[in-house]
Structure 1
Amino acid sequence: MEARFRTDSTTRGAYTSDAGIFRRVPAAVFEPETNEDILEAVSYARENGIPVTVRGGGTSVAGNAIGEGLVIDVSTNFNKVLEVDPEAHTARIQSGVICDDLRDAVASYGLTYGPDPSTHSRCTVGGMIANNACGSHSVAWGTAAENVVELTVLRADGSLITLQRGGTSDPEVTEQLRQLRDEWIADFRLELGQFPRQVSGYGLHYLLDENGFDTAKAFAGSEGTLGIIVEAVVKLVPLPTHRALAVLAFPDIFSAAAAAPLTRRPGITTSEGMGGDLIDALRISQGPDAGSSLPGAEILPETGQRAAGGWLYCEAVGNSAEQARQRAEDLLAEFGKHPEHATVAAVVVEDPQEMRALWKIREASAGLVTRLPDGGEAWPSWEDSAVPPQNLADYLRDLYALLDKYELRGIPFGHFGEGCVHIRISFNFGTEEGMDVFRAFIKEASAIVAKHGGSLSGEHGDGRARSELLPVMYSERVLASFRRVKDIFDPNNLLNPGILVDPEPFDQGIRPAPGQRKHEFLPMHSLPRDKGSLVNAVNRCVGVGQCRTSTDAMCPSFQITGDEVHSTRGRARVLSEMFRGELYPEGTGSQEVKEALDLCLSCHACASECPVNVDMSTYKSEFLHQHHKQHRRPMAHYSMGWLPLTSNLLHRVPGLARVANAVLGVEPIKRLVMKLGGVEADRSMITFSPRSFQSEAKKRREASDGPTVVLWPDSFTNHLDAEVARDAFDVLTALGYRVVVPGGFVCCGLTWHSTGQLTVAKKVIEHTVKQMQPWIDGHTPIVVLEPSCASMLAKEGPQLLSESELAATMATQIKTLGEFVEAHASSADGEHTWPFAQIDGQALSQVHCHERSRRAHGGSASVLSRLGVDESTIQTGCCGLAGNWGFEPGHGEMSRQLGERELFPRVRELDDATPILADGFSCRTQIRDGLKDEPEHRHKRGIHLAQLLKSALRSSR
């Protein structure tokens, strides 16, 4: 990709905030590729008096990655690992390298990069250095500053300077820094660097002789106010060969905090704490509207009758599994010697997958705790305070008392072994009274942390959240030294103004403050978890950036483009700006907002993988519903959105489907029809089944002596791929069930929903519920073969019909075929009525994105295992077609690129005998279309689980 200079309002809206509470609309966004690009951009800004802010992954919680001038985003193109020196244990990198990418690049040498904040999968190393991030392993490996060897920095005047131990490449700057050190030497020794997590302000204590006059380390934590990091040489550490995780439960959070200093011992590399309410928040996030969300809570040790109010995660490492486990066991034994620090329960976990699941809880904390156990909102700002570890328990008691005083709530978590606490608090930014409480609380909390000898920031910097409060913890002389170092590097205050020196007020420009709701509208969905408000739903996105993680399924379009606009977070920011009405005064009529949402595939991955379950698919439908009240709909919304009804009408006339297929098979006619229908011309034309499955089902005999199961005739298997439904009928009958197929037009409304035709979707679902009323009883299974339809009936349908008890009841009866067959197999009679022969082979599964995000794949996976099928699954999530999205003009190329991430290459590798399982009609279409021009592979087809089960029926062999 090439450098891009962007001034469009869509891009500017996506960059208005980071992971904090602050809002600044940038004048422009620049994505550099080389040092020269950055130099040119800074020169332009300097000549025009435009302030400059550098941004990495945008995961800062203090508002130090946003600005009203030029935002330079180094994460898109400026992100290379330039050199690894395994002998010296160092790596030379560009500043936009993602932390995990660096770790992956050096892992083959048996090395890793030590600092690892919870956002390690998407934060940049340059941003970590700029904010002096630390992470869970800082007990062993220290802060980002302590892992810096050398920095190459672009100053505001356009000069490049190298910073390292002993001085800089510029003799004049070196001398100025020595003079600074000599004038303030006593102050630095008395006030700076008093404990490891004292991160607030500039790290000028590294200029002391006893610290090697290390100008690179002193620059770390300067939050982009002194210069722009273009290259860094960072220290690497040996990768632990074996790990074990000791998980300790305590009666309350204060007990966990008091016990944390005992965990600082050789072989223990983490000492992470969490409040017990975090587990409650986790279970809320795994509720009925949230999909599969985060696993892991079931691995935590049982606490019996005593509830756990606090937790510690302590990782032990060793040269062998036995040594790692022994160190973890020794830690547990240590607590037995201290009755005052007794645990409620404890366990040592050694299985890598279980450890990963437990760490995922901790790493998702920053998102999880933005929703309290009762569903209330909580916000960052008093986010990273730290005290000497031995003072942590007393500090937390005072902090809790202050929360009680102002009737606020929050769930603490963080690096307890180093005295650092993260907490999101239930501030009410929507009223002036709430803002008054916020101001008073922050001021008093600052005084409390200073009383305990602590730091306003224990990592991630002060930013806009805490810079104004620095006089609470530092003397006027130390503050004067901060101003002096700013003058040395950036005398004209071009770089990230308003932070650390001449700070902005900590309550200025808060994003969710009054005024955010100018263009709020009443949504069609009930949004019960957000009090019926789409603004509240959008505000779920606090900005932790999980949607920018390349290893997850969330945000397929971001994985292709690397563009913040096309991340879930970017879209949430644009929607937030739409409701505010300043950047997009047209509100829902804005074409810029529509552009931001255009590449959302409505895959629902964010509904489960986002820690706070942002559901951009639903928000997009609501926006399109409003937008097209003011603008004409594209033809694809009619040709694709109304496909269920047109298919139904087509099959009402005997023989008409065959005629339609024959006519549409003529190439010129096909091209004309697709052009008139507003769909991608290079897509394959759909074909209709000769007869609908409903018409065939009328002639089938039912096993009347068995329990009843309803087989849902979704539009795809009813009209376009009736073979799947026929096979499912045979499978259910062979299992001993009386299979009922509803007649008439029944539809989940999916295609209208995804195109934002919500009024029609609601009417369709209302009609369907009436048609289905004879079987809505709360217990008769309704087997839905199309995963997207199952998701729609179980989730969106009840929200659109929020007053309908029948819709809510029907949602509880929805089962996928895999879920139903697995439940049957696990029942008392299942063993006696298992009509399938063993397959004993391999299979590749493209799990439908709605099944993956909303219902999980466990039922199908279990059934395949019972059949002896060794299943491997596509890990990248959505196949890339995503229903109508992949047929819409302009989406064809990206749809193919999404398929090429993993799906198409994996299918090409398969031999012809290996089944390709794809329950989604779109997924099967994508496989067929993606390989249609490859003679050696174009015969390969995806099949539904029903078809595999039908082939395994003993009677069919």
Structure 2
Amino acid sequence: MTALEEDLRRSVRGEVDFSPSVRAVYATDSSNYRQVPLGVVLPLDEDDVVAALRVCARHDAPVVARGAGTSLAGQAVNVAVVLDTSRHMTRILEVDPVAATARVQPGVVLDDLRRAAEVHGLTFGPDPATHAWCTLGGMIGNGSCGTHALFAGKTVDNVDRLRVATYAGDVLDVGSYTDEEYAAAAAAGGPLAPVLGGLREIARRYEPLVRQRFPDIPRRVSGFNLDELLPDKGFSVARALVGTESTCVVVTEATVRLSHSPAHRRLVVLGYPDIFAAADAVPALLEHPLLGLEGFDDTLVRQMRENDVNVAHLPLLPPGRGWLLAELGGDSADEADAASEAFVAALPADLERRCYADSMDQRRVWLIRESGLGATAIRPDGTHNAEGWEDAAVAPERLGAYLRGVSALWRDFGYSGAWYGHFGQGCVHTRNDFDLHTVEGLRRYRAYVERAADLVVSLGGSLSGEHGDGQARGELLERMYGPELVDAFRQFKAVFDPRGRMNPGKVVDAYPLDTNLRFGPGYEKRPAGKQFFSIGSTLQEAAERCVGVGRCRRDDTGTMCPSFRATRDERHSTRGRAKLLVEMFQGEVTPQTWRNEDVREALDLCLSCKGCVSDCPTHVDMATYKAEFLAHYYEKRLRPRQMYALGLFPWAARLGSRMPRLANAVLATRLARRAAGVTIARPAPQFSQRSWRSSLPAVWRDPTVVVWPDTFTDAFAPETGRDLVAVLEALGERVAVPTQWACCARPLYDTGMLDLARRSLRGLLDVLEPWTSRGIPVVVPEPSCLSSFRDELPKLLPDDPRAARLADLARSPAEHLLTLEGLPTLSSAAVVHPHCHASAGGWSGADRELLQRMGATAEVLDAGCCGLAGSFGFSADHEPVSRQIGEEHWLPRVRAALGDDDVLVADGFSCRTQLDHLAGPPAVTLPTLVRRALGG
């Protein structure tokens, strides 16, 4: 491996990384499987891909290419060199609106292509649930489909040409071939000629079997596309390579077809007595010109509630226990309305239905359907449901029979699951409570899968309808195709990869489906040891919540994950950090110790923004995991000086607010900041000449509400506190503001000083006890402090009833103001940038509701994390990344959302500070805006 790594470094211009941390995070995808790679190469371009392949061939090293790493059948992991094209090979090379095609590199994210095509009224039709982060190369490798394959076809139907590199390092530009084109290519010689000759011979020899045994259904994805080599399909080598899962070639460029995208959509949601009745109704519904026809059952809805995934959208569903989502459209609103009305008119009169024309309502309903990937992953006890039989497809007219047959198998084996997926094409997904951890559990799992495979074959279906074969279904292909066609697949692979080094053990000559398991019988559960946080499980089990969905790689919306957006490094994604933690407890790739440097380095750029708590479909809480790990890592050790300077800053601020001129003078000196490890690239925050506490008036003896004077509002922005008190009093409240100092300990969590955080929180509870014991609400102006009250406080002090009581009584300014009468009128338009912790905690919507109730037009931004994240951006080590996040990702979205007369509202002290430091637009806090409306 050392020689291989050195040779790759000499030959490849992109990154080459064989470190334990990188090998650990690439050891798993989104499937049940785990195989530790030899190393990872991030090529810059096609030349780099070719160079890497030639080096690997010299060393006889296997290779696997991957995109976003979200594969569900194990095809994106192997004991091989991983070629990850998602960091650099991300260019959309051309969009041709006349030909309705696009040329893309393999690392292009699907939604990026769709946005570029939408300008011309076009789209790339196939759209898996991971559309916001999956790559075109991965889609081509897997043969992906998605919701709108119903009208636009599968990926294979939308590929015209491919540029591919073989293991030998040859670059082939392949498409479809007429007899004349074939003859010309053969006569030209070169590496393409023998490939075309070999493929044509396979097509000639196996044509009768292909026509006989390839299921004629909308979603046959299993096996290789030998049917595309037949004369009536145009001998398309490009389409034959779609779905080969990196077992034959590496795609370096693709020319894909674009579909017309109806500008106006309508969604009709149908409710049925059960999922079987919904399936039975599909054939009749397909008589209409539908863009999509998706479905799910009441088990999915129950699991959404259990895992708190998109629960707020569930009231949009009509009554029922099984639902179908029928999408129709047109180029005008009238056309879309007409299509929807004709569809509804043909429905049975007694069928429950709801029709949605509003795009936001439609999006909310689609989010229910997209919840399947995350909501079904975790059981109420924290253990996993698993893939393994989640992707079969049958003809739509046989879907009811298939669902009933598999449900009968569940009863036989004692399994359960939820149904969700592409009902219009007969491909329905599920996750089941398989026992993959014990030998007996695996025996039962294998028996179940074999019987399910036989059921699908008996119905004329396909083992895979979208996710591919990989390792999960590769060994079952003979049951579907017979040994002769499986041998034809073997010969097809050998044409491109005669040495068998491209993704070996997947699809062809596959590893047994019950080996290489991520959480198999060999997986070790470690004793819990000391647990600082009460997180409902051990840290190991908490990290296992990550199932690799990959939403933390999303660029377009949401808070998660700002450090990945800046670095494009898988180790600095929420998923990568969770995987590293899991690997740490195993000790195979990275050391099994709390002093693990790989984990510490990966967590170092975690901003503790808590975006993953809400954005991650399985609610991975990396901020808490980071705090827990650092508490162990630094136990009985000195921390770096900046951790003390920033972690203990509230105590320093308490002192500084008493002598603000001296404190500001000290903070202004570069020498002092350098000595503390604090950045000199930013100005230090300036202490107010008079803190909030020092100017408090007499306190009401019988208050109706308490306002908490948090450190940052007290010392640096006292006007916000005064404005909040003034607003509450103007609306009839009697306000108490504690004068005794205490801290929510927010900076201590980020540095893992959890014992000190506990002591600080007990002091906080003591201060607030006179009011909280009487049930008086506590309004907290700073969002990060409110988050501490609601989240970290009860986790760190689970046995103190005062902690739960304060968590229940704590409110944001907007939440409390919504309970009051007499709100003023606000005529201006407001754009709210919520603090990350407000987004994660789910209370940012109260800001919008309050402003709308006051008469303002209000928009809550989805611009992501500002990048400052409290103490993070003031660390000298982190300041460049903090600035990059703010300048490249956050601030452009904030500016784009603001109209000329819009008011920007930002309650977070960090957010406003980042705006100041990056010369962003001015912002006000919500209390200040309301006070202005009151005329204050």
Same fold (TM over 0.5): yes
Match of 2:335 in 1: 323
Q: CA deviation at 1:948?
A: 2.4
The amino acid of 1:155's aligned partner reads T
Match of 2:188 in 1: none
Residues 846 and 879 in structure 1, CA contact (< 8 A), matched pair in contact too: no
Q: CA deviation at 1:265?
A: 2.6
- The 5-angstrom pairing of residues 227-242 of structure 1 reads 227-242=249-264
- The 5-angstrom pairing of residues 37-56 of structure 1 reads 37-56=48-67
The amino acid of 1:781's aligned partner reads P
List per-residue Cα deviations over 1:182-215 (Å, max 9, x = no partner). 2112111111142121211111112222222222
SS in 2 for 1:91: strand
| Structure 2 residues not aligned, in runs of 5+ | 1-11, 186-191
Match of 2:631 in 1: 625
Q: CA deviation at 1:787?
A: 0.3
Q: CA deviation at 1:930?
A: 2.1
Residues 328 and 340 in structure 2, CA contact (< 8 A), matched pair in contact too: yes
Q: Is 1:429 the counterpart of 2:436 in the alignment?
A: yes
SS in 2 for 1:424: coil
Residues 193 and 203 in structure 1, CA contact (< 8 A), matched pair in contact too: no
Separation in 2 of the partners of 1:631 and 1:232? 53
Q: Is 1:81 the counterpart of 2:92 in the alignment?
A: yes
Match of 2:189 in 1: none
- The 5-angstrom pairing of residues 485-884 of structure 1 reads 485-513=492-520, 514-518=522-526, 521-528=529-536, 532-552=537-557, 553-629=559-635, 631-650=637-656, 655-665=658-668, 670-697=669-696, 699-700=697-698, 702=700, 708-777=704-773, 779-824=775-820, 830-831=821-822, 834=823, 836=824, 838-884=825-871
Match of 2:83 in 1: 72
Match of 1:150 in 2: 161
Q: Which moved more, 1:423-432 or 1:492-501?
A: 423-432
SS in 1 for 2:355: strand
Separation in 2 of the partners of 1:788 and 1:347? 40
Separation in 2 of the partners of 1:88 and 1:263? 32
Task: Identify which of 89, 107, 114 aligns with 2:125.
Answer: 114
Q: CA deviation at 1:415?
A: 0.7
Q: Which moved more, 1:775-784 or 1:727-736?
A: 775-784
Task: Identify which of 174, 196, 206 aligns with 2:196.
Answer: 174
Separation in 2 of the partners of 1:401 and 1:915? 59
Q: Is 1:946 the counterpart of 2:927 in the alignment?
A: yes
Q: Is 1:898 the counterpart of 2:896 in the alignment?
A: no
Q: Which moved more, 1:314-323 or 1:142-151?
A: 314-323
Task: Identify which of 898, 906, 910 aligns with 1:918.
Answer: 906
Separation in 2 of the partners of 1:179 and 1:908? 59
Could you say if the C-alpha distance between residues 247 and 166 of structure 1 is closer, same or farther in structure 2, counting changes exceeding 3 Å? same
Residues 721 and 781 in structure 2, CA contact (< 8 A), matched pair in contact too: yes
Could you say if the C-alpha distance between residues 946 and 601 of structure 1 is closer, same or farther in structure 2, counting changes exceeding 3 Å? same
Residues 150 and 232 in structure 1, CA contact (< 8 A), matched pair in contact too: yes
List per-residue Cα deviations over 1:714-734 (Å, max 9, x = no partner). 121123322222222222222
Residues 242 and 320 in structure 1, CA contact (< 8 A), matched pair in contact too: yes
Q: CA deviation at 1:770?
A: 2.8
Match of 1:300 in 2: 317
Match of 2:105 in 1: 94
Could you say if the C-alpha distance between residues 185 and 785 of structure 1 is closer, same or farther in structure 2, counting changes exceeding 3 Å? same
Separation in 2 of the partners of 1:368 and 1:679? 41
Q: CA deviation at 1:815?
A: 0.5
Could you say if the C-alpha distance between residues 527 and 166 of structure 1 is closer, same or farther in structure 2, counting changes exceeding 3 Å? same
Could you say if the C-alpha distance between residues 183 and 604 of structure 1 is closer, same or farther in structure 2, counting changes exceeding 3 Å? same
Q: Which moved more, 1:124-133 or 1:678-687?
A: 678-687
Match of 2:323 in 1: 311
Q: CA deviation at 1:463?
A: 0.4
Match of 1:934 in 2: none
Residues 828 and 901 in structure 2, CA contact (< 8 A), matched pair in contact too: no
Separation in 1 of the partners of 2:314 and 2:913? 38
Could you say if the C-alpha distance between residues 695 and 12 of structure 1 is closer, same or farther in structure 2, counting changes exceeding 3 Å? same
Residues 193 and 205 in structure 1, CA contact (< 8 A), matched pair in contact too: no
Task: Identify which of 900, 914, 917 aligns with 1:929.
Answer: 917
Could you say if the C-alpha distance between residues 172 and 905 of structure 1 is closer, same or farther in structure 2, counting changes exceeding 3 Å? closer
Residues 881 and 923 in structure 1, CA contact (< 8 A), matched pair in contact too: yes
Match of 1:382 in 2: 389
Q: CA deviation at 1:318?
A: 2.1
- The 5-angstrom pairing of residues 102-501 of structure 1 reads 102-166=113-177, 169=185, 170-286=192-308, 295-301=312-318, 303=319, 308-336=320-348, 343=351, 345-372=352-379, 377-501=384-508
Separation in 2 of the partners of 1:185 and 1:151? 24
Q: CA deviation at 1:621?
A: 1.1
Q: CA deviation at 1:842?
A: 3.9
C-alpha RMSD of matched pairs (Å): 2.3
List per-residue Cα deviations over 1:656-697 (Å, max 9, x = no partner). 3443334444xxxx2122122221122222333344433432
Separation in 1 of the partners of 2:408 and 2:142? 30
Could you say if the C-alpha distance between residues 476 and 137 of structure 1 is closer, same or farther in structure 2, counting changes exceeding 3 Å? same
TM-score (norm 1): 0.91
Q: CA deviation at 1:443?
A: 2.4
Residues 329 and 348 in structure 1, CA contact (< 8 A), matched pair in contact too: no
SS in 2 for 1:425: coil
Residues 213 and 481 in structure 2, CA contact (< 8 A), matched pair in contact too: yes
Separation in 2 of the partners of 1:596 and 1:453? 48
Q: CA deviation at 1:701?
A: 5.2
Separation in 2 of the partners of 1:506 and 1:500? 11
Separation in 1 of the partners of 2:519 and 2:123? 39
The amino acid of 1:55's aligned partner reads R
SS in 2 for 1:468: helix
Q: Which moved more, 1:55-64 or 1:902-911?
A: 902-911
Q: Which moved more, 1:417-426 or 1:745-754?
A: 745-754
The amino acid of 1:538's aligned partner reads A
Match of 1:34 in 2: 45
Separation in 2 of the partners of 1:902 and 1:220? 34
Q: CA deviation at 1:85?
A: 2.3
Could you say if the C-alpha distance between residues 779 and 334 of structure 1 is closer, same or farther in structure 2, counting changes exceeding 3 Å? farther
List per-residue Cα deviations over 1:899-924 (Å, max 9, x = no partner). 21365457779899865422111112
The amino acid of 2:884's aligned partner reads Q
Separation in 1 of the partners of 2:895 and 2:145? 43
Q: CA deviation at 1:564?
A: 1.6
Q: CA deviation at 1:254?
A: 0.9
Separation in 2 of the partners of 1:206 and 1:911? 52
Residues 14 and 565 in structure 1, CA contact (< 8 A), matched pair in contact too: yes
List per-residue Cα deviations over 1:71-103 (Å, max 9, x = no partner). 001111112222222222211222221111111
Separation in 2 of the partners of 1:195 and 1:217? 17
Residues 742 and 764 in structure 2, CA contact (< 8 A), matched pair in contact too: yes
Separation in 2 of the partners of 1:776 and 1:372? 35
Could you say if the C-alpha distance between residues 632 and 407 of structure 1 is closer, same or farther in structure 2, counting changes exceeding 3 Å? farther
SS in 2 for 1:184: helix
The amino acid of 1:27's aligned partner reads L
Separation in 2 of the partners of 1:3 and 1:519? 41
| Structure 1 residues not aligned, in runs of 5+ | 825-829, 932-936
Residues 2 and 77 in structure 1, CA contact (< 8 A), matched pair in contact too: no
List per-residue Cα deviations over 1:897-953 (Å, max 9, x = no partner). 22213654577798998654221111122122223xxxxx7xx75432222233333
List per-residue Cα deviations over 1:560-614 (Å, max 9, x = no partner). 2222222111111111111211111143211111111111111111111111211
> Identity over aligned residues, as a percent?
39
